[in-house]
Amino acid sequence: MTTPPAAPLRVALVNGSFEQPSVTGVEILPDASQTQAAKRVPGWLTTASDHRIELWHSGFQGVPAADGAQFAELNANEVSTLYQDLPTTPGTKLYWRLYHRGRQGQDTMALDIGAPGSTVEQRRFTDGNTAWGYYTGTYTVPAGQTTTRFAFRSISAAGGNRSIGNFLDGIFFGTAAYVSLEKTAIPAGPLDVGDVVTYRITAKNEGGGAAENLTLTDVIPQGTTYLPGSLRIVDGPNTGAKTDAQGDDQAYYDAQANKVVFHLGNGATAADGGGLPNTETLPAGTTVEYRVTIDRASGGKQITNTATASYENRLGDTPESLTSTSNEQVTQVKPAADLTVVKAADATTVTVGQTVTYRITVHNAGPNDATGVTVTDQLPDGLAFLSAEGPGSYDPATGQWTVGDLANGANATLVLRAKATKAGLVDNTATATANEKDPDTANNTDTVSVCVEPAPSCCDPCAGQK
């Protein structure tokens, strides 16, 4: 069984768009270090001496949020630096993006990134108060840096008031999306030919940014047949959405390629995948399922299957295409043997006292060898056992023909002789069984009718019964 590589250490800001806590108008609140405060700003810290952060609700004084319903003002009661410290892995490429806007005119701030106490200015932003400026970039964590500070430092603000200036919103700093897939088969097995298997796949985004245009594809395992109408989104965005074979929603079965396709995440449609948030926001990810029936050809074999996902990292200037593969799911299938019984009589009309000769042939149509093969052929009233010839052994008391093992494609024939003792129509039935499951029991039984006439013949005792 193969296991996909582990996800890298996730880096993602907390409360990047300042949506918590909810405010009306404008409020100046304690930062995340003030744990005694009932209402504080999660994630963010400030170098301000009063440890206060200013949050605005969208539309207050005519200023709309750039992302969500709230934003922050860098200059609260005093000029300060707003920051978060995050655990990082050296060598990791991190992406950043942000919105910046002036309040009374042209405001300027700096973006500082690096180890706490030794951050390096990455860039300065100057924007007026008529529109939000949008900026993106990348940062690679240097060797030995296991904690990285992401900080905004006020440089200047129009109007000269130290408590006014530099609006911030829609901030992201972290790793790209990383989708992990976990696949299970229900029930786990071993299973029989003809059983139904439910494949369930869970996709989780262990990265920082959203996994955009997420599409999950699963080729139907060889030796199984897709069960129409079984596509379902079990958990996550759009749970319970209609997903049928015509593909008029988020999932469909591609008969030509023999695969199922799911478009997943927020905003997913029949044509495109949506965005899957990271596990900080959506811990359980999203789960889908479909069903297959185990084909006869899979008897005695293993069914193996993996699912794949394609998605995009859109944190950079251009989308980056990424893929993930699930663990390999292995299901063991028990051997199966399709036994066929054919029974014939040398003569279908005899007289009392004559010998009736039956020939019972059992054939194993596979796909596997049959073990413990037994044919039950109990002679009915009106027939007295004389002899039996063939492989294995026949017990006239029980009517059990113990054939033993029968290879795939092999035949065994029993010649059974009995004396007719009573006039009438005699029905005789043979039924075959084995230790293995028989995928088609309709051909396991065969019946032959023989008319026994009195001697000397004076009439037809079987008239009306034939």
Read off the pLDDT of residues 390-439 as tens digits, 9 standing for 90 and up. Answer: 999 999 999 999 999 999 999 999 999 999 999 999 999 999 999 999 99
pLDDT at position 278 is: 92
What pLDDT shows up at residue 247? 41
Q: Does residue 257 lie in a domain region? A: yes
> Do 317 and 343 reside in the same domain of the chain?
no
Q: Is residue 16 part of a domain?
A: no
What is the sign, positive or negative, of the torsion defined by CA atoms of 187, 190, 196, 198?
positive
Same domain, 31 and 151: yes
The total number of structural domains in the chain stands at: 3
pLDDT tens digit sequence for 358-390 = 999 999 999 999 999 999 999 999 999 999 999
Interatomic CA distance for residues 260 and 250, integer angstroms: 11
- Reported confidence tier of residue 2, pLDDT bands at 50, 70, 90: very low
Are residues 237 and 138 part of one domain? no
Q: Can you tell me the mean pLDDT for 45-51?
A: 95
Average pLDDT on 159-178 reads: 91
- Tell me, yes or no, whether 1 lies in a domain: no
pLDDT at 82 over 80: yes
Locus of tokens 């029989």: 192
Give tens-digit pLDDT for 282-304: 999 999 999 999 999 999 999 99
Assess whether 166 and 34 both reside in one domain: yes
Q: What is the mean pLDDT of the chain?
A: 92
Mean pLDDT of 30-50: 96
Q: Which of 310, 332, 354 is the last residue of a domain?
A: 332
Assess if residue 462 is contained within a domain.
no
| Per-residue pLDDT at 245 | 46
Task: List beta partners, residue 150.
Answer: 84, 113
The 10s digit of each residue's pLDDT in 306-316 is 999 999 999 88
350 and 410 together in one domain: yes
CATH, residue 30 = 2.60.120.260
In this predicted structure, the answer to whether residue 169 has a pLDDT above a threshold of 60 is yes
Q: What is the model's pLDDT at position 459?
A: 54
Tell me which residue range forms the domain holding 251: 179-332
Residue 104 lies in a domain: yes
CA-CA distance, 171 to 72, in Å (whole number)? Answer: 11
We report the CATH number of the domain holding residue 399 as 2.60.40.1530
Among candidate residues 122, 142, 174, the one where a domain is terminated: 174
Tens of pLDDT, residues 127-140: 999 999 999 999 99
Only one residue has tokens 């880096």, namely: 11
- Rounded CA separation 287/203 (Å): 6
* Judgement on whether residues 164 and 30 belong to the same structural domain of the protein: yes
Structure tokens at 457: 């013949």
For position 240, what pLDDT does the model report?
65
Q: Which of 150, 88, 160, 138 has its CA nearest to residue 114? A: 150
Asked whether the predicted pLDDT for residue 38 surpasses 90, the reply is yes
Nearest to 306 by CA among 186, 222, 223, 221: 221
Q: Are 147 and 217 within one domain?
A: no
Residues 8-18: pLDDT tens digits? 678 889 999 99
User: What pLDDT does 241 receive?
Assistant: 58
pLDDT at 76 (0 to 100): 86
Average pLDDT for residues 433-446, to the nearest whole number? 95
87 falls within a domain: yes
